[in-house]
């Protein structure tokens, strides 16, 4: 009696295994077929698994793995991010790789099937465009941050509009009276390309300076007409002309903001940034440096007045007028 029950149980188990195996096989569709040439820039297309399909394009490096065909779960094959359509256009990043596609019907229970691989991908890979870099004492990299900016390289008569990231030679004149410019200079010795932090200038006209000395500051020297009376010259007519000149025209100004080895310069001295936003105003008698109140600690500028041996540190809320010698 017991032997009969055992035989029945074994028979039922065998039938169940066969049914499970058949069901598993039924859920696997026909392997997809790829059409197209495995070349950079070309488009590969998968055959459709049914009326509706799902796709996963994968790649494998034949120099580092076996990249065997057939096994949809082979860990050597890696999904390509975002490549889930029926077609796939090959980018330069796939150069040298094998490509395959997994596809399945959207019917419930259907599993992915793997295609045969194509490749390795061939074709001409264009080298990446060289990035413009600053060079210490030679050029800075300028970027438009807001408004409109113009610049005039040395020896050029007219201004160029700044519309994209552009190298600007040392000695150039920058018109930032109607915009904000972000400048990246280089540190080190003459010609070095080690990038400093970015620094912003706005609401002023200035000339870009940086001496060849190692780690010298990138300086924005305020320029433009002041309408100041020359000492000992002009008499009554000059005084009358000066009186009719607006106070706004008798001063130059420039805002600076950021960190790094940057500064501003007027005829009264140079202000080098420690990490803050500050204003430089050039007047007939000298240069005013002003750090407005702002949150945070340790921010300010260092002012080096002409004719003084020691620099002066200005914290937020402080100002200093450096008299012209």
Both 202 and 68 in one domain: the answer is: no
Burial of 151 (0-12, 13-18, 19+ CB in 10 A): buried
Q: What is the largest CA-CA distance in the chain?
A: 136
Q: Is residue 289 part of a domain?
A: yes
Tell me the sheet residues that pair with 113: 103
Q: What is the pLDDT of residues 140-193, one digit of tens each?
A: 999 999 999 999 999 999 999 999 999 999 999 999 999 999 999 999 999 999
| Nearest by Cα to 120 from 231, 37, 4, 239 | 37
Query: 134 vs 308, which has greater pLDDT?
Result: 134
> Could you give the angle at the alpha carbon of 232 between the alpha carbons of 227 and 233, nearest 5°?
55
Residues 256 and 276 sit within 8 Å (Cβ to Cβ): no
Does residue 7 form part of some domain? no
Residues 193 and 311 in one domain: yes
Separation CA 159–CA 10 (nearest Å): 93
List, for residues 189-237, the tens digit of each pLDDT value: 999 999 999 999 999 999 999 999 999 999 999 998 877 765 554 444 4
- What is the reported pLDDT for 26? 44
pLDDT band (50, 70, 90) for residue 28 = low
What domain range is 76 assigned to?
28-114
Amino acid 297: pLDDT: 55
96, 51, 54, 97: which is closest to 77 by C-alpha? 97
- Rounded CA-CA distance 113/27 in Å is 10
pLDDT at 230: 58
In a domain, 314, yes or no: yes
Would you say residue 309 lies in a domain? yes
Number of domains in the chain: 2
Other Cβ atoms closer than 10 A to 246: 8
Confidence tier at 244 by pLDDT (50, 70, 90): very low
CATH number at residue 90: 2.60.40.2700
Closest CA to 112 of 71, 149, 146: 71
CA dist., res. 170 & res. 311, Å (int): 25
Weakest mean pLDDT among 7-21, 72-86, 184-198, 274-288: 7-21
């Amino acid at each position: 009696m017991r032997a009969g029950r055992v035989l029945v149980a074994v028979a039922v188990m065998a039938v169940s295994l066969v049914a499970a195996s058949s069901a598993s096989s039924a859920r696997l569709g026909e392997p997809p077929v790829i059409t197209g040439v495995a070349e950079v820039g070309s488009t590969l297309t998968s055959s459709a698994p049914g009326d509706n399909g799902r796709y996963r394009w994968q790649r494998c490096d034949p120099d580092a793995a076996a990249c065997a065909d057939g096994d949809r779960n082979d860990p050597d094959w890696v999904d390509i991010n975002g490549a889930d359509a029926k077609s796939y256009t090959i980018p330069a990043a796939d150069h040298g790789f094998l490509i395959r596609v997994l596809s399945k019907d959207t019917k419930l229970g259907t599993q992915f099937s793997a295609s045969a691989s194509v490749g390795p991908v061939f074709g001409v890979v264009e080298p990446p465009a060289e990035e413009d870099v600053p060079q210490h004492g030679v050029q800075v990299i300028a970027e438009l941050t807001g408004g409109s900016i113009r610049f005039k390289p040395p020896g050029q008569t007219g201004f160029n509009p700044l519309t994209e990231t552009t190298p600007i030679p040392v000695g150039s004149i920058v018109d930032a009276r109607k915009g904000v410019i972000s400048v990246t200079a280089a540190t080190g010795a003459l010609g070095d390309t080690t990038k400093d932090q970015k620094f912003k200038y706005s609401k002023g006209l200035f000339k870009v300076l940086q001496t060849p000395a190692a780690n010298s500051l990138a300086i924005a020297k305020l320029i433009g007409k002041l309408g100041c009376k020359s000492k000992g010259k002009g008499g009554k007519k000059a005084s009358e002309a000066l009186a009719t000149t607006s106070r706004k025209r008798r001063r130059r100004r420039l805002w600076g903001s950021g960190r790094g080895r940057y500064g501003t310069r007027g005829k009264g001295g140079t202000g080098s940034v420690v990490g803050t936003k500050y204003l430089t105003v050039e007047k007939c008698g000298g240069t005013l440096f002003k750090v407005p109140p702002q949150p945070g600690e340790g921010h300010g500028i260092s002012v080096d007045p002409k004719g003084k041996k020691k620099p002066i540190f200005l914290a937020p809320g402080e100002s200093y007028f450096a008299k012209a010698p």
